[in-house]
């Protein structure tokens, strides 16, 4: 049965949650969390690595003990230690910890004093006013808990794109192994590269008589077959994700791909355009009467409608059809345009790999430059750098640059923006860096006016260059903080600062619509991986996906520039 990295990481996180509730050794808890982050950042599936004979204990943050647990789960589908801990502590308590503001201590208090073991228990207790009576909670916290419970109840169940990719890759490989199958493509929001995916729509072409749907419903990971026909089947996977498969004839493949890629609003506009031109457009093709005019490729369908090809990322009915008619579609940024990464971490703080390993990995990617942006001192959980340790890192980078001739390592820091808008380190040390990346890591509950003012005051500092993950969100976990993004962008442009599009799949922050706003305001954006390991440098592609959805071209992105031009852009003071 296929096992995905995200599944193993989730098990380790759940185990860490439950151990923390038991007041287990904090180093032991941290080891599981570190392993989970490392696994989520891998570019290869653990099952494949194990099958290739790789020593999993050599992976960052794993070690022999956890490597053995991973092997056990892959081979047996069980994690004995987790089962033991769950037998002692209700597993639902770790789900409660996913509610923002409810850490292990508060969940433990709720469980011990109010016997709360589920979302329903918590909601009842909060509605009856029992939560506010507990020490350390209060009426405000109780109201926030109710608000977040309600938001979670109405939230769509969607997977992060990176997790959907893991599921999709195994499924595509399985379908391609079916004799007679020619093409396999995943359409829908997955193909449009939305940050989260609700379900998977798969299109297949095959030789006549190929039992594609029989092969599909026999997939090991299928937990329930919803429907099963000769050309269409629907299943639910173990992960809970729904997958729809359609077998289409080659002559209709392009029209079907266009239709099932969507978005619905884009398709409706195309159909209206087709009607105006005397055509009928559906998933089988573009017709005039009974005659098929196009359908084998998307390009041919668009061409018959008088349009150039529109990239899937743009198909959200945000003006792309009108732009296509006028010949004004943007040339979208691509992977080959990126010349370097301006946000990454080493094991000096919360990264998994050494400075030298990160630079070696960046060289293999063909980068011209790499900024090392370890955390500043306030982020104690990440063992942030104080002035002395940052000076030591500056000296190491200077020494390393003397040995390199094909890449430049830029000296930087991810400095905390404090509540009053000041920066976590003095100007005397910030002035010795090539660039400064500022970030909000705490006090997310300020009002919109306060948070906006805080960030703008930080950008007043002449050494400030880039605002990292500007909205502060974590997909499916934490909503963005309240901030006037337009005002922040205008302030950044006036001060010669830039906003980051953080490519971490858990963040993808800026949003696609914020990218469009930045483009409208002529504010350039930095796409950075926020890599915490060498494997994480590959996250750049998720940032590029998001930038493309936001209509950004190479000229809109700072790190498409060569180093000399980049240095000029960062020279504010």
Sequence-distant (≥ 6) Cβ neighbours of residue 573 within 8 angstroms: 431, 462, 463
**The two three-digit tokens of residue 218, written as one number:** 């026999």
Residue 112 has pLDDT above 70, yes or no: yes
**Please, is 223 exposed, middle or buried when counting C-beta atoms within 10 Å of its C-beta (0-12, 13-18, 19+)?**
exposed
Euclidean distance between CA atoms 471 and 484, whole angstroms: 10
My answer on whether 379 and 495 are in the same domain is yes
91 vs 426, residue with greater confidence: 426
Q: How confident is the model at residue 96 (pLDDT cuts 50, 70, 90)?
A: confident
Give the DSSP per-residue string, 126-163.
HHTT-STTSTTTHHHHHHHHHHHHHHHHHS---EEHHH
Q: Is the residue at 356 inside a domain? A: yes
Q: Average pLDDT of 239-261?
A: 96
Task: Tell me the average pLDDT of the chain.
Answer: 92
- 247 within domain boundaries: no
Note whether residue 471 is domain-resident: yes
Residue with tokens 């990440």: 382
- Nearest C-alpha neighbor of 444 from the set 417, 425, 475, 466: 417
Triad 115, 117, 123: Cα angle to 5°: 90
Distance, CA of 319 to chain centre: 25
User: Which residues have C-beta within 8 Å of that of residue 346, sequence separation ≥ 6?
Assistant: 353, 354, 355, 358, 372, 374
Sign of CA dihedral 556, 560, 561, 563: positive
Least confident span in 123-127, 468-472, 513-517: 123-127
Which SS3 state, helix, strand or coil, does residue 301 take? helix
Tell me how far apart the alpha carbons of residues 273 and 322 are, in angstroms, rounded to a whole number: 11
- Token reading at 458: 């930080």
476: left (phi over 0), alpha (psi -120 to 50) or beta: left
Residue 435 located in a structural domain: yes
**Final residue of a structural domain among 242, 277, 311:** 242
Angle at 311 between CA 306 and CA 314, to 5 degrees: 100
96 and 67 in a common domain: no
pLDDT at 47: 86
Please give the backbone phi and psi of residue 10, each rounded to the nearest 5 degrees, phi first: -65, -40
Residue 76 gets the label, from left (phi > 0), alpha (psi -120 to 50) or beta, of: alpha
Contact 27, 91 (CB under 8 A): no
Task: Classify residue 330: in a domain, yes or no.
Answer: no
Q: What total number of domains does the chain contain?
A: 5
Q: Which of 242, 265, 291 is the last residue of a domain?
A: 242
Q: Quick one: residue 110, left, alpha or beta (phi over 0 = left, psi -120 to 50 = alpha)?
A: alpha
Both 284 and 320 in one domain: the answer is yes
Q: Are 546 and 510 in contact (CB under 8 A)?
A: yes
CATH of the domain at 117: 1.10.150.20
Secondary structure letter of residue 480 according to DSSP: P
Q: Note whether residue 275 is domain-resident.
A: yes
Torsion angles phi and psi, residue 528, rounded to 5: -130, 150
For residue 76, what pLDDT band results from cuts at 50, 70 and 90? confident
In a domain, residue 281? The reply is yes
Confidence band, pLDDT 50/70/90 cuts, at residue 379: confident
Mark whether 259 and 315 lie in a shared domain.
yes
Residues 418 and 465 in one domain: yes
In this structure, the answer to whether residues 178 and 257 fall within a common structural domain is no
Q: Is the pLDDT reported for residue 489 higher than 90?
A: yes
Confidence of residue 118 (pLDDT cuts 50, 70, 90): confident
> CATH number of the domain that 217 lies in?
3.30.460.10
Between strands 414-416 and 437-439, the pairing is: parallel
Strands 232-237 and 222-228: antiparallel
Place of tokens 């266009």: 258
Asked if residue 460 and residue 508 are part of one domain, the reply reads: yes
pLDDT for res 162: 92
Residue with tokens 């469980």: 111
End of a domain among 57, 83, 109?
83
Over residues 549-561, the pLDDT tens digits come to 999 999 999 999 9
4-45 tens-digit pLDDT? 888 888 889 888 888 888 888 888 888 998 888 888 877 778
Considering the domain architecture, whether residues 14 and 109 belong to the same structural domain is answered as no
Find the domain containing 69 and state its range.
1-83
pTM for this one? 0.82
Confidence of residue 156 (pLDDT cuts 50, 70, 90): low
Query: Percent of the chain having pLDDT more than 90?
Result: 71
- In 309-438, which residue ranges form alpha helices assigned H by DSSP? 320-325, 355-364, 387-403, 427-430
507 shares its domain with 399: yes
Q: Are 530 and 456 within one domain?
A: yes
pLDDT digit string (tens) for 279-317?
A: 999 999 999 999 999 999 999 999 999 999 999 999 999
> Tokens representing 292?
């098929």
Q: What is the rounded average pLDDT of the residues 204-216?
A: 96
Do 466 and 539 reside in the same domain of the chain? Answer: yes
Q: Are residues 373 and 488 in the same domain?
A: yes
Can you give the CATH number for the domain in which 295 is found?
Answer: 3.30.210.10
Using pLDDT thresholds of 50, 70 and 90, give the confidence band for residue 460. very high
Q: Say whether pLDDT at 179 is over 80.
A: yes
Contact 475, 196 (CB under 8 A): yes
Query: What is the per-residue pLDDT for 10?
Result: 87
509 lies in some domain:
yes
Report the pLDDT value the prediction gives residue 14, as an integer from 0 to 100.
Answer: 86
Q: In the sheet where 181-186 sits, what is the strand order?
A: 181-186, 199-206, 242-247, 232-237, 222-228
The residue among 384, 387, 374 whose CA lies nearest residue 413 is 374
Specify the CATH number for the domain of residue 26: 1.10.150.110
- State the Cα–Cα distance between residues 8 and 44, nearest whole angstrom: 13
Query: What is the domain-level CATH number for residue 528?
Result: 3.20.20.140
How far apart CA 258 and CA 248 sit, in angstroms, is 13
Instruction: Assess whether pLDDT exceeds 80 at residue 573.
Output: no
């Amino acid at each position: 049965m296929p096992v995905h990295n995200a599944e193993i990481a989730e098990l380790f996180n759940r185990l860490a949650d439950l151990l923390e509730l038991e007041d287990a050794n904090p180093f032991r808890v941290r080891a599981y969390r570190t392993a989970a982050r490392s696994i989520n950042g891998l570019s290869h599936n653990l099952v494949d690595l194990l099958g290739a004979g790789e020593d999993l204990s050599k992976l960052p943050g794993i070690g022999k003990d956890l490597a053995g647990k991973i092997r056990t789960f892959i081979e047996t589908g069980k994690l004995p230690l987790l089962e033991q801990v769950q037998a002692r502590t209700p597993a639902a308590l770790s789900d409660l910890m996913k509610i923002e503001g409810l850490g292990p201590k508060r969940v433990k208090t709720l469980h011990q004093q109010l016997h709360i073991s589920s979302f329903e228990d918590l909601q009842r207790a909060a509605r009856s006013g029992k939560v506010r009576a507990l020490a350390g909670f209060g009426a405000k916290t109780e109201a926030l808990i109710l608000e977040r419970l309600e938001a979670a109840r109405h939230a769509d169940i969607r997977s992060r794109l990176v997790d959907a990719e893991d599921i999709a890759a195994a499924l595509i490989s399985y379908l391609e192994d079916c004799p007679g199958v020619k093409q396999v493509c995943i359409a829908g929001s997955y193909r449009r590269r939305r940050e989260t995916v609700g379900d998977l729509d798969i299109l297949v072409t095959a030789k006549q008589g190929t039992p594609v749907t029989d092969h599909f419903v026999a997939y090991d990971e299928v937990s329930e077959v919803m429907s099963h026909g000769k050309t269409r089947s629907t299943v639910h996977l173990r992960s809970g994700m729904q997958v729809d498969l359609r077998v289409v004839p080659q002559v209709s493949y392009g029209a079907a791909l266009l239709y099932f890629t969507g978005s619905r609003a884009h398709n409706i506009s195309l159909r209206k355009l087709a009607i105006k031109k005397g055509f009928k457009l559906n998933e089988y093709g573009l017709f005039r009467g009974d005659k098929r005019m196009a359908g084998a490729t998307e390009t041919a369908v668009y061409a018959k409608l008088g349009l150039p090809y529109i990239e899937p990322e743009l198909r959200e009915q945000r003006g792309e059809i009108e732009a296509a008619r006028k010949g004004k579609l943007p040339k979208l940024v691509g992977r080959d345009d990126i010349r370097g990464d301006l946000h990454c971490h080493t094991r000096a703080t919360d990264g998994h790999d050494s400075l030298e390993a990160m630079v070696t990995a960046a060289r293999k990617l063909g980068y011209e430059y790499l900024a090392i942006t370890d955390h500043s001192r306030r982020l104690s959980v990440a063992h942030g750098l104080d002035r002395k340790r940052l000076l030591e890192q500056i000296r190491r980078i200077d020494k390393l640059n003397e040995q390199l001739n094909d890449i430049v390592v830029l000296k930087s820091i991810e400095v905390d923006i404090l509540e009053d808008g000041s920066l976590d380190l003095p100007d005397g040390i910030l002035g010795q860096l090539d660039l400064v990346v500022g970030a909000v890591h705490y006090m997310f509950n300020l009002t919109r006016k306060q948070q906006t003012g805080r960030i703008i005051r930080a950008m007043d500092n002449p050494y400030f260059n880039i605002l990292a993950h500007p909205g502060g969100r974590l997909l499916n976990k934490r909503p963005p903080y309240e901030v006037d993004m337009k005002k922040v962008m205008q302030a950044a442009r006036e001060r010669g600062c830039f906003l980051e599009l953080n490519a971490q799949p858990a963040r993808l922050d800026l949003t696609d619509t914020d990218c469009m706003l930045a483009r409208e305001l002529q504010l350039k954006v930095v796409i950075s991986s926020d890599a915490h390991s060498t494997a994480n440098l590959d996250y750049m592609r998720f940032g590029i996906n998001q930038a493309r959805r936001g209509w950004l071209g190479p000229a809109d992105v700072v790190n498409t520039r060569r180093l000399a031009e980049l240095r000029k852009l960062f020279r504010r003071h």
